[in-house]
C-alpha cells in the first residue's frame, strides 16, 4: 500500500466516523419532552414576529392580488369559451 492509498483510507475512515457520529440518536441521547418544549419556547422567543399593521397590510396585498388574478383568469376563460362556442356553435 503506497502513501496515496494510506491517505485515501484515512480520509474514508474519518468520513465513516463522521457519518456514524451524526446518525440517529439512541434513546440515551434523546431529550425529554419537557426539555424539548423549553427549547421550542426559547426558539420562538427569538422569532422576529410581524407587527399588527404589517400583518394587516400583507393580508390586504394577498387579498387584492388574489382578486386581480381571479379576474384575469375569469376574463380569459370567458373570452376563450365564447370564441370556442362561436367557432363550433
How is the chain split among helix, strand and coil, in percent rounded to 5?
Answer: 80, 0, 20
Domain locations in the chain as residue ranges: 50-89
How far apart, in whole angstroms, are the C-alpha atoms of residue 17 and residue 9? 12
Question: Of residues 25 and 4, which shows the higher confidence score?
Answer: 4
CB 31 within 8 A of CB 39: yes
CB 73 within 8 A of CB 80: no
Please write the tens of the pLDDT for every residue from 25-81: 666 788 899 999 999 999 999 999 999 999 999 999 999 999 999 999 999 999 999
Task: Tell me the pLDDT band of 22, cut-offs 50, 70 and 90.
Answer: low
pTM for this entry: 0.51
Q: Which three cell numbers stand for residue 2?
A: 503506497
Res 27: pLDDT = 63
Amino acid at each position: 500500500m503506497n502513501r496515496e492509498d494510506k491517505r485515501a483510507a484515512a480520509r474514508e475512515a474519518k468520513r465513516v466516523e463522521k457519518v456514524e457520529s451524526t446518525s440517529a440518536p439512541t434513546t440515551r441521547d434523546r431529550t425529554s419532552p419537557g426539555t424539548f418544549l423549553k427549547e421550542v419556547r426559547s426558539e420562538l422567543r427569538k422569532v422576529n414576529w410581524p407587527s399588527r399593521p404589517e400583518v394587516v397590510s400583507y393580508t390586504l396585498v394577498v387579498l387584492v392580488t388574489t382578486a386581480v388574478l381571479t379576474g384575469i383568469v375569469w376574463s380569459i376563460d370567458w373570452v376563450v369559451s365564447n370564441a370556442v362556442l362561436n367557432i363550433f356553435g
